[in-house]
Structure 1
Amino acid sequence: MSVMIVIPSYEPQKKVISFIQRLSEQTGKNILIVDDGSGASYQSIFQELSVIPAVTVLSYEKNRGKGAALKAGFQKIITEYSNVRAVVTADSDGQHSITDISRLIAAIEQTDACTLLLGTRSFKKAETPFKSYWGNKISSLFFYFATGITCEDTQTGLRAMNTSLLPSLLTVEGERFEYEMNVLLKSKALAIKLEQLPIETIYENNNAHSHFRAVQDSYRIYKPLFRYLSSAILSLGVDISAFLLLLFLFGGSNEMVIPATVIARLFSGIVNYSLARSWVFGNEERVSSTLWKYGLLFLGQMVLSSLGVRLLLLILPIALISKLLVDGLLFGLSFIIQNRVIFQKGRVRE
């Protein structure tokens, strides 16, 4: 099988030249290096890389991000390398050994076309930089929370896939580090199977040359969860505001508490559904295909919240704490159901 290695690179160190030289010699595969707008100061490095046999350098002027670089590489393979049947992506910062890259090349040649192979590292707290250790733990937990799939290393850049998957991967949103996470999150909708292959864990100089930006890139990766939290807070604000307004308009008698609660919850439910459909999960299917499912979830939450709080009050007679505990559990459950069932986009591959 004809396999091409794609390596996105931004402001590489000079030692990448010897690494690519050895990679070319030991694998015997064509290598496509995408210069992600590294600038004039790094062009001498890319020039030296371009003279290595079987190495092609694709450059553009402005830095766009790792996701954009991978997409540029995929697009070039689709349009110019019709003979290539599989692609292996790797990082240029020394985190992937030639041995492990070779193992993925061998594995993808024996794997079916709908499988995405992930080279997954095992993270030991004592041997992993603080930011990398906790970043991976949190992202792996979030990935399981959102999909129900266990993945040891959601941030791995060492991946292998059949070229038949490339058109689908080009449709996945994201231009920077969030792209690789988005690919995993969309794998079910794209009918892509995930398989994991253990690889060596390497961090050179405590990962000092990583271009990962803790705040900006973390937000991009966890954007669906952040948006879900924001929509929930806004919906809660609508709920409380509508409840208080109704009591003010129609009197604060005990008889009005239940009607005001139900009407306020209906208003907040409409707001939450609208935000979840268009902003959180980006589902543009017809309202009729998702509204009835959301309605069932909405009613179920109301019933479970009421029963849960009543039961918890028997052992924890503080209403506010009981409500926070019950609704907090239902909040997480609701996210899972909305993401996996209600707003899960239809498959684009068969």
Structure 2
Amino acid sequence: MEVMIMLSVSVVIPAKNEEDSIGKVIETIKENIEKVEIIVVDDGSTDNTAAVAKAAAAKVISHPYSKGNGAAIKTGAREAAGELIVFMDADGQHKAEDISRLLAKIECGNDMVVGARQKGSQASWGRGIANGFYNFFASWMTGHRVKDLTSGFRVVRSEKFREFLYLLPNGFSYPTTSTMAFFRAGYSVSYVPIHAEKRVGKSHIRPLRDGARFLIIIFKIGTLFSPLKIFAPVALLLFSLASVWYGWTWWNYHRFTNMSALLYTGSVVVFLMGLISEQITALMYRD
């Protein structure tokens, strides 16, 4: 079933060694969206991903070597001609039938619409728990409920998405960074519930390595969005420890110790770092 839309649409699909699924993904997109530009970014595949995508009449851009999922997203976003860009995976997890629902939501005035994976759509219980933590942390940082921070299935207004290309990492964390950047800029972000299918082939994500990387990224995007929400609690903790230690040493020894001075100084320094970071962050979004 085809869907009629008012704005031009480009679909960007980052792909690495996805020859078994990419052809079907492209065909199902054509069946569901009328007059759509399909861009497959071949991220240094060692199989026939590029050839299969070309045979399916998609525009193919090939990286000479693997640069990462985020780098492929940036390449596709720069080449996309559509006013709206749909990002989806090449492994068959995302249903082309859901694209029309995302497009309908963005035409209601939203700037980014994310396909929020429902219960049972996570690849493993471990990743489900991790994503739950990311969603909770992002919701606390933004003050809005974030239903799926790491979903790679989303539609954005291309002009606004390109504003943040310089912020996006080359790895797997472009969804987290782009979502937080849109919130920080005051753009509208909405969610549409989806069910992700089991992927075709083997996942490129390594749980231990990429899990640790995601944990670092979650704090990086926290400082990117509102640094004081990270630094202020740490400063308060240090100040509280300093006060408790000072109270204990004064009660027992009637003196002010170097440890109390160090903790008090640390709390002030951390708070000032957060304040300066907040001002720098505000300058990043001044336009």
Aligned mates of 1:117, 1:71 — CA distance in 2: 18
Aligned mates of 2:68, 2:131 — CA distance in 1: 20
What is aligned with 1:176? Answer: 171
**Equivalent residue in structure 1 for 2:73, among 65, 70, 74:** 70
Q: Does 1:51 align with 2:58?
A: no
What is aligned with 2:108? Answer: 111
Aligned mates of 1:171, 1:89 — CA distance in 2: 18
Residues 22 and 187 of structure 1: is their aligned pair in 2 closer, same or farther, counting only changes over 3 Å?
closer
8 Å CA contact 2:164–2:181 kept in 1: the answer is no
What is aligned with 1:299? Answer: none
Q: What displacement does 1:146 show?
A: 2.3
Q: Does 1:144 align with 2:142?
A: no
What is aligned with 1:291? Answer: none
Aligned mates of 1:346, 1:58 — CA distance in 2: 31
Q: Which one scores higher on RCO, CA 8 angstroms, separation ≥ 6?
A: 2
Question: How do 1:266-305 and structure 2 match up within 5 A?
Answer: 266-273=264-271, 276=274, 283=278, 285=280
Return the letter of the residue paired with 1:88: V
Deviations 1:176-214 (CA, angstroms, capped at 9, x unpaired):
112211112222322221101111232247xx6221222
8 Å CA contact 1:9–1:33 kept in 2: the answer is yes
Residues 128 and 174 of structure 1: is their aligned pair in 2 closer, same or farther, counting only changes over 3 Å?
closer
What is aligned with 2:4? Answer: none
Q: Does 1:5 align with 2:3?
A: no
Return the letter of the residue paired with 1:222: L
Aligned mates of 2:49, 2:100 — CA distance in 1: 24
What is aligned with 1:91? Answer: 89
Aligned mates of 1:119, 1:225 — CA distance in 2: 20
Q: What displacement does 1:94 show?
A: 1.2
Q: Does 1:35 align with 2:42?
A: yes
Deviations 1:261-284 (CA, angstroms, capped at 9, x unpaired):
653233212442465468xxx556
Residues 225 and 179 of structure 1: is their aligned pair in 2 closer, same or farther, counting only changes over 3 Å?
closer
Residues 9 and 128 of structure 1: is their aligned pair in 2 closer, same or farther, counting only changes over 3 Å?
closer
Aligned mates of 2:176, 2:170 — CA distance in 1: 11
Aligned mates of 1:36, 1:213 — CA distance in 2: 17
Deviations 1:48-88 (CA, angstroms, capped at 9, x unpaired):
211323x10111112111111111111122xxx3xx21111
TM-score (norm 2): 0.77
Matched position secondary structure for 1:161: strand
Q: What displacement does 1:90 show?
A: 0.6
Matched position secondary structure for 1:150: coil
8 Å CA contact 1:136–1:153 kept in 2: the answer is yes
Matched position secondary structure for 1:170: helix
Q: Does 1:21 align with 2:27?
A: yes
Aligned mates of 2:71, 2:278 — CA distance in 1: 23
Matched position secondary structure for 1:6: strand
Residues 25 and 173 of structure 1: is their aligned pair in 2 closer, same or farther, counting only changes over 3 Å?
closer
Deviations 1:142-163 (CA, angstroms, capped at 9, x unpaired):
2123222212221111111112
Consecutive unaligned residues of structure 2, counting only runs of 5 or more, are 1-6, 221-229
What is aligned with 2:117? Answer: 121
What is aligned with 1:347? Answer: 285
Residues 156 and 24 of structure 1: is their aligned pair in 2 closer, same or farther, counting only changes over 3 Å?
same
**Equivalent residue in structure 2 for 1:221, among 201, 214, 221:** 214
Aligned mates of 1:272, 1:224 — CA distance in 2: 20
TM-score (norm 1): 0.65
Residues 182 and 277 of structure 1: is their aligned pair in 2 closer, same or farther, counting only changes over 3 Å?
farther
8 Å CA contact 1:100–1:200 kept in 2: the answer is no
8 Å CA contact 1:90–1:101 kept in 2: the answer is no
**Equivalent residue in structure 2 for 1:212, among 205, 208, 227:** 205
Q: What displacement does 1:111 show?
A: 3.3
What is aligned with 1:61? Answer: 64
* Larger Cα-atom Rg: 1
What is aligned with 2:198? Answer: 203
Aligned mates of 2:259, 2:11 — CA distance in 1: 59
What is aligned with 1:264? Answer: 262
Residues 209 and 344 of structure 1: is their aligned pair in 2 closer, same or farther, counting only changes over 3 Å?
farther
Deviations 1:127-179 (CA, angstroms, capped at 9, x unpaired):
85223322221211221232222122211111111122132131323111122
- Computed over aligned residues only, the root mean square deviation of the Cα atoms, in angstroms, reads 3.3
Return the letter of the residue paired with 2:52: E
Return the letter of the residue paired with 1:192: Y
8 Å CA contact 1:7–1:32 kept in 2: the answer is yes
Matched position secondary structure for 1:48: helix
